[in-house]
Amino acid sequence: MVNISKLRDDHLRLFIILRQLGAVIERREPPPRLHLSALRHELSAILIAHLEDEDLHLYPRLLGSTVADIAATARTFSDEMGGLADD
């Protein structure tokens, strides 16, 4: 079953992590390795899980829509982004 709230929460969490990484990059001095490593790990874990959820739950459901525009958009997204979690 598709959990839209979780997918939206993932987007927010990813945005927050990306902002944190951006702030780290803007500093004149390199960040502590553990801090940077933790941010990268969190980003990777959330992104991979999110992409898997889309591939396994969201796209199949939308592809089965009786609304042609929804199914067509889902096909486009699935063709362009499907399988990214594996990469």
Distance CA 53, CA 24 (A): 29
- What does the pLDDT read at residue 43? 97
Q: What is the pLDDT of residues 6-65, one digit of tens each?
A: 999 999 999 999 999 999 989 999 888 899 999 999 999 999 999 999 999 999 999 999
Name the band, by pLDDT with cuts 50, 70 and 90, for residue 86.
confident
Assess whether pLDDT exceeds 80 at residue 71.
yes
Q: Where are the domains of the chain?
A: 4-81
DSSP 19-78: HHHHHHHHSSSPPPHHHHHHHHHHHHHHHHHHHHHIIIIIHHHHHT-SSHHHHHHHHHHH
